[in-house]
Amino acid sequence: MAVGATRWEELTQVVLQTAEVAAAVGARVDFHLLNSIGPQPQFMTLVTEAAAAADTLPVSSLCTVDQMRQTLRSITPGGRTPLTNSVELINASIQSVAPRLAAAGQKAVVVIATDGLPDDPRTFLAALQALQTLPVWVVVRLCTSDDSVVEYWNDLDARLEAPLEVLDDEVGEAKEVHAAGNTWLTYAPQLQLARQFGMRSKLFDLIDENRLLPSQVAIFCDELFDCGPLPEPELGLPAFRAAVDAQQAKVPLVFDPIRHRMQPWIDTRKIGAGKSASCAVM
């Protein structure tokens, strides 16, 4: 079920979710709090000690998920939004390993969780442009209902040469996915978390922008269920629907943030509802 929460509680949940996923998969995460908070460290690294010893990146104060949770509980929201300085610090830390990342075909994921605007939009734009020259993927997770803030970040995405993934909360993203024409998909919290953590997929990026073609729906379902190639929907829609339903029977129901109920990932009845090939996915 859905419960009420402040935007600050939402932002802290974003940070903790990132920490929990990182701990579960053994990935390193560096947390940069925008403002100093007295005796608490402003920069923290969640990583195993063995991995930290073998890593060439400098390590901030080591922390665990529980320590991060306690730190966030001690913070009272407020203060400035010095995003330029934070991005410049991240830029400097990634530069030292950029050649290694590029050689391995890897990217660092930079997640900016914010409820406002940078103190200096001009210098922030320059810092972000410099960051995007490195092997990075930038995700902005907005925790705000202020239309002017949302508009700023969406406009910034359009002004940058490299893509910027701007995510609203689960309900907002789910509504965008449906508004784009992909009403067959339940935009569950697991999908939001994967995108928020930096999991890259061209189709995951497109679902809130464009109506997916039938062949793209098939690829999306393959990636979602990790099931291998599915029947081509335009060549055999009943077979495709049956194959997707068979895969869904193997996994639990998921929470629909719009309808506030548990249901399957895919409503196969809404796939192929249109009569023309270009509108085969409704």
Q: What is the dihedral of CA 7, 9, 11, 14, to 10 degrees?
A: -140
**pTM for this predicted structure:** 0.83
Distance CA 19, CA 232 (A): 38
Tell me: pLDDT of 81 over 60: yes
Residue recorded with tokens 């449906």: 178
Q: What percent of the chain has pLDDT over 90?
A: 46
| d(C-alpha 208, C-alpha 2), whole Å | 22
Q: Tell me which of 63-77, 233-247, 249-263 is least confident.
A: 63-77
Cα angle for residues 177, 180, 181 (degrees, 5° grid): 95
Distance CA 12, CA 143 (A): 10
Instruction: Name the β-bridge partners of 125.
Output: none
Q: Mean of the pLDDT values across residues 14-41?
A: 83
Asked whether 223 and 215 are in contact (CB, 8 A), the reply is no
**What confidence category does residue 54 fall into, taking pLDDT thresholds of 50, 70 and 90?**
low
Which pLDDT score is estimated for 1?
Answer: 56
What's the pLDDT at 280?
35
Residue 117 has pLDDT above 70, yes or no: yes
Which helix H or strand E contains 136, and what residues bound it? strand 136-142
**CA atoms of 111 and 141, how far apart (whole Å):** 7
Instruction: Give me the amino acid identity at 113.
Output: A
121-173 pLDDT tens trace: 999 999 999 999 999 999 999 988 888 988 999 888 888 888 788 999 999 99
The strand pairing partners of 267, in sequence order, are none
Nearest to 262 by CA among 188, 204, 168, 183: 188
- Examine the pLDDT at 29 and tell me if it is beyond 50: yes
pLDDT band with cut points at 50, 70 and 90 for residue 232 = very high
* Cα separation, 177 vs 161, whole angstroms: 24
pLDDT band per the 50, 70, 90 thresholds, residue 73: confident
